């Protein structure tokens, strides 16, 4: 089987596969099926995982595999919290559910309006938690996601 092509992920310097494993479809299957699918994807060479606190139990499902195979992937997750304390709670829960001690890319999710931007950037906003987490080594990179509503 041919190797999955890779691309550099932004300024991170990481070479990630063009095909990743996402939390939305993983949340739609039972735990056993999810673990089987995740392991199969990793066995095929996929090295990028993208999930979020908002994707129901997807972090727990990925966590079942991450406890054994964490070193094989670039792991991204997200928070929809807009304030520092809520984002910090989300990060703690993500680390627990994903069974890891760090996240490669932690994203402030769905920053698709000026109001949301101002909330996360304000004093006491979610960006404060992200910066603190990066300083403590809990997060390697910080990002933002947006959607067109």
Maximum alpha-carbon separation in the chain = 51
Is 55 a known active-site residue?
yes
Whether 126 and 84 have beta carbons less than 8 Å apart is answered as yes
Considering the candidates 40, 48, 55, 102, report the single residue annotated as catalytic. 55
**Residue 119: count of CB within 10 angstroms of its CB:** 18
Q: What distance in Å separates the CA atoms of residue 5 and residue 15, rounded to the nearest whole number?
A: 9
The pair of three-digit structure tokens given for residue 47, joined into one six-digit string: 């090295």
Q: What distance in Å separates the CA atoms of residue 104 and residue 19, rounded to the nearest whole number?
A: 17
The pair of three-digit structure tokens given for residue 149, joined into one six-digit string: 């509503």
Query: Residue 142's beta-bridge partner residues?
Result: 106
Q: Give me the active site residues, please.
A: 55
């Amino acid at each position: 089987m041919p190797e999955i092509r890779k691309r550099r992920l932004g300024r991170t310097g990481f070479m990630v596969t063009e095909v990743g494993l996402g939390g939305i479809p993983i949340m739609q299957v039972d735990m056993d099926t999810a673990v089987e699918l995740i392991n199969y994807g990793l066995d095929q060479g996929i090295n990028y995982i993208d999930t979020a606190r908002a994707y129901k139990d997807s972090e727990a499902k990925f966590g079942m595999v991450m406890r054994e195979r964490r070193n094989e992937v670039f792991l991204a997750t997200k928070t929809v919290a807009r304030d520092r304390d809520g984002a910090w709670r989300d990060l703690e829960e993500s680390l627990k559910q994903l069974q890891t001690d760090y996240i490669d890319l932690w994203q402030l999710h769905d920053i698709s309006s000026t109001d949301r931007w101002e909330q996360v950037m304000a004093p006491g906003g979610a960006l404060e938690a992200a910066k603190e987490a990066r300083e403590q080594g809990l997060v390697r990179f910080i990002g933002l996601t947006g959607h067109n509503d």
